[in-house]
């Protein structure tokens, strides 16, 4: 979580990663970069929450059981966001995994801030 | 690493979700009261119709109060869609029974939000909710008093006409 990767100009902190992707936070820009499905996409606060909602809403069980669905692909489109994902069922599961880990780490970071930094300083 | 989400929004996502559910509940209450006003009007209970029109307006204000609070705290408030509003009642009395039930369920759901706030030490939302708890005292009192008129006056003869006349006069005046 504290390992900082230096890329040209911007500093990223890795929030969470799996072997399928990673999410980084940029403190200076106040946003996140999602490295998944072969692209690096920037998400601000609102869009990250919208992505979370969109992914969490997908009924994976239903997709698994419903074999009559013609394509095994789901399009994740987010209003007023430059990115959209066209993902297979397996990729959706992986993205959900990545997001769940990320939000757990962000929550943990929040707790650390509340209990440590914000009280003492 | 900065705590960006907290900088953007005071509410936890759980509390935000609960407040949005409450927004829906208040909107639902408003719609129910409006429907009761319609029924009372159609059946000749003019004072009760007025009473429920006023209640509907109050619930609308409750809805907006929470709606704006969520926005002010950096959250996303969701405009709810309301369906399945009862149109017909079996009796004059049933209207008031339903009204009290509705208020009790609103109180319960507010308690549930407060419990959550207490758990995560969200004293700000807790303090915001205090206004609603005070309001529920009055709301439950009025609904209960209205229903009691059916016992006190009785429905026989011109009873229902009397009850209707008294409904608008119920006031809660406790200073405590
Ligand atoms: Fe209310
Ligand atoms: Fe009410």
Residue B9: both structure tokens together: 């929004």
Q: What residue of A is the nearest CA neighbor of B76?
A: A46
Burial of B140 (0-12, 13-18, 19+ CB in 10 A): middle
Q: Which residues of B are annotated as a binding site for Fe cation?
A: 26, 59, 62, 103, 136
Q: Where are the domains of chain B?
A: 9-79+86-167
The count of domains in chain A is 1
User: CB distance from A26 to chain B under 8 Å?
Assistant: no
For residues A24 and A15, the answer to whether their CB atoms sit within 8 Å is yes
Measure B20 CA to ligand 1 centroid, in angstroms.
14
Please tell me the distance from the alpha carbon of residue B138 to that of residue B121, in angstroms, as a whole number: 27
Q: Does domain B9-79+86-167 have CATH number 1.20.1260.10?
A: yes
Asked if residue A1 belongs to a domain, the reply is no
Of residues B91, B83, B105, B102, the one with CA closest to residue B39? B91
Asked if residue A22 belongs to a domain, the reply is yes
User: CB distance from B76 to chain A under 8 Å?
Assistant: yes
Asked if residue A7 belongs to a domain, the reply is no
Asked if residue A3 belongs to a domain, the reply is no
- Flag whether pLDDT at A67 surpasses 80: no
pLDDT tens-digit series, residues B8-33:
999 999 999 999 999 999 999 999 99
Asked if residue A5 belongs to a domain, the reply is no
Chain A residues lying within 8 Å of B17, measured CB to CB: none
Residue contact B6–A30, C-beta within 8 A = no
Query: Domain of A33?
Result: 12-120
pLDDT tens-digit series, residues A22-55:
999 999 999 999 999 999 999 999 999 999 999 9
Measure B129 CA to ligand 1 centroid, in angstroms.
11
Asked if residue A81 belongs to a domain, the reply is yes
pLDDT tens-digit series, residues B123-133:
999 999 999 99
Asked if residue A4 belongs to a domain, the reply is no
State the smallest CA–CA distance between residue A68 and chain B in angstroms.
31
């Amino acid at each position: 979580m504290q390992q900082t990767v230096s890329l040209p100009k911007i500093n990223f902190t890795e929030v969470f990663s799996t072997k399928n992707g990673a999410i980084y936070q940029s403190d200076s820009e106040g946003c996140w970069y999602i490295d998944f499905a072969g692209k690096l996409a920037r998400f601000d606060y609102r869009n990250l929450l919208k992505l979370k909602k969109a992914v969490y809403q997908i009924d994976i069980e239903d997709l698994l059981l419903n074999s009559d669905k013609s394509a095994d692909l789901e399009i994740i489109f987010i209003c007023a966001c430059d990115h959209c994902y066209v993902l297979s069922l397996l990729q959706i599961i992986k993205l959900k995994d990545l997001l769940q880990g990320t939000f757990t780490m962000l929550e943990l970071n929040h707790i650390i801030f509340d209990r440590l930094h914000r009280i003492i300083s | 690493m900065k705590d960006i989400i907290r900088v953007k929004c005071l509410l936890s996502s759980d509390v935000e979700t609960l407040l949005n559910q409450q927004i829906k509940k208040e909107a639902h209450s408003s719609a129910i009261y409006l429907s009761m006003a319609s029924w009372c009007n159609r059946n000749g209970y003019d004072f009760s119709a007025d009473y429920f029109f006023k209640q509907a307006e109050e619930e609308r204000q409750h809805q907006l109060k929470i709606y704006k609070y969520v926005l002010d705290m950096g959250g996303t408030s969701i405009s709810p869609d309301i369906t399945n509003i009862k149109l017909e009642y079996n009796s004059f009395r049933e209207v008031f029974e339903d009204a009290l039930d509705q208020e009790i369920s609103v109180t319960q759901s507010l308690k549930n939000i407060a419990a959550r706030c207490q758990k995560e030490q969200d004293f700000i939302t807790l303090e915001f909710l205090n206004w609603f708890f005070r309001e529920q005292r009055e709301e439950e009192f009025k609904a209960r008093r209205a229903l009691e008129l059916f016992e006190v006056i009785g429905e026989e003869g011109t009873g229902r006409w009397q009850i209707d006349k008294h409904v608008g006069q119920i006031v809660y005046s406790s200073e405590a």
